[in-house]
Structure 1
């Protein structure tokens, strides 16, 4: 199975898109900006909420503030939606890494001109499926998280150290926008890779069918 310039360009495009999507997914995994809340409180005015920890701006003096972070495992156990989002994002990170390994491995096989077309096509199809599933998981996690937040279904845990009078503003954190960008990169990469794989496989089989027809 030979590698032409068009095939190389398509495969490199899918790898670059998948890599960008994976890096964005890792970024939002560690980000605390999934939710941004503003409070009418003298001690705590702003809170950033991520998947594994929440950080808030605490007033130490009239002119001094300190960022305090708490793990969600210790304070937020009763809010079960965070556990679902955590599982989806961890699954997304794994799927994207797995797809990249298969995609790069298949490209290396083509560069070495190894005669294993079925293996390469299988790697491409599994990688494409991993990318598409990854994009769905990331998209569902960030969009559903934002929906719960803006619809008023997200609350503070009962054992939060401060009694906060009122949330005056809820803002989308950059986790939503980077998450959507990650999902789009993964979905486009998976769609292009699956389309190219199916097209190249059909073109490889077509000449055999033509010869049989002539005979």
Structure 2
């Protein structure tokens, strides 16, 4: 059965965040809220966590995982980003955007797109995730919690606990969450491509 933590969405309890971070360091797969919708997350180098996310979501090896980063200093360790792209990304973050960029050697190979050697990164605008990332001191490997054959993610932590009680180890509930995933922008080729229109406003990129 999954551990269940009820967390204040704007002022997350420090002890609870510390407990969740300890679980992640111990290999736990966590369902947690973001500024777009609930997501699945695990420690950056966790092969087991990656396999479990793939199984829950029925994903193939071409799926881009996302590194949920606390800030630009952290983001810059894991992707190559030139000045023009940096300015565009910085203007849109923190926020509801995922950016696909060429990965550095710091990114575990199993996270990379098999042909492009790219990875998704984002900086969330959500107090719970920011507190968790600060406690972890490293990015959280993440994927939208969207189940196979379902059009929208679950919006309530208690619902996730009921449905995925034996698939995840921890559920962090901060109340109602959205149903629209992030907008995905691909800069990996040097040209801007809008891969998915989601919660983030695309007009700034058009």
Q: Would you say same fold, with TM above 0.5?
A: no
TM-score by length of 1: 0.25
The structure with more helix, counted as a fraction of residues: 1
TM-score by length of 2: 0.26
The structure with more strand, counted as a fraction of residues: 2
Larger Rg: 1
